[in-house]
Structure formats: structure tokens, C-alpha cells
Amino acid sequence: MEGTDFAALARIVLRVAHALAAALWLGSGTFLVVALLPQRRSSPAASETVRTAQERFRRWWIASSAILVGSGVALMFDRVADGRGTATYLGLLGIKVVAGLVALAASGGLLPRPTRPTLRPARSAWRVPDRIVLALGALAYLLGVLLSVIYPPDPTAGWR
């Protein structure tokens, strides 16, 4: 493969992985919070269905969280390493990172939970409502889109 710029290809793969993981995290979270969780109160059978769905969502939630963090760190260093990041860009990036990390941590998407059903996860001192977690995730996603518009990526530039 003569002339292939592997750095440019890696950058494209990282951006696509980051965008897809964000869409999966936000989309599944929206479905869970808006469609499934309100069903818990309707009947015991519905409550069991919601619990089963939450367990299955959990694997995707953890995987997408790991991809988000890993690709996000690589992309962040790549984007600021060229020295073209303005104070506005860095400020928006900081807000995006904080919103995303708080949403990930509050959702439990950063650490796996115990697998034995007898163990209950410890309640944290702070509990963020599901809709706030979703709003923070949406904010991080929208800031990512905004940053791509005001600081467009150049996938052909190779690693900086």
C-alpha cells in the first residue's frame, strides 16, 4: 500500500469510533431514561423487563464509555498539539470534557458493577438524576460537534 498515510487513517478511525460511541451512549441512554425507566411503576412484570434491559444495556454502556474515553483522550492531544487551539476552543473543550466525565461517572459507565445479584452497589454520597446525566451527555456531544465546526479536523495532516 504505497502512499498510505497510516496516521491519517488512524485519525479518521478514531473520529468515527468516537462519534459512533457517543451516539450509542447518548441514544441508548435516551431510550433507557425516556422509554424504559418510566415503565418500572406500571407492573411487576414491566419492572422485571426494565431490570433485564438495564443489565443488557450495561455492557454496551461500558463498552461505549471505554471507547469514548480512549478515543477522546487521543483526539484531544492530537487536536491541541498543533498549537492552533484558541482560548475559546480550549474553554469549550474543557467544558465538554467535564460534562462528559461527570455524565460517565454519574451513570456508572466508567466502572463495572458487581456481577453477583446479592451485592448491591454502594450508594454514592451524590446522586445525579438520570435526566441530568442525559443532559450532560447531550451537552458534551453538542460541544463536540461545535468544536468540529469551529476547529475543523484535517485527517490528511498526519499525527502532529
Predicted pLDDT of residue 160: 46
DSSP states of 98-139 as a string?
Answer: HHHHHHHHHHT-SSPPPSSTTPPPPPPS----HHHHHHHHHH
Position 126 scores a pLDDT of: 59
What three-state secondary structure class fits 151? coil
Whole-number pLDDT of residue 85: 72
Q: How far is Cα 95 from Cα 8, in angstroms, rounded to an integer?
A: 27
The residues spanned by each domain of the chain are 6-112+125-153
The segments of the chain whose pLDDT lies below 50 read 111-121, 159-160
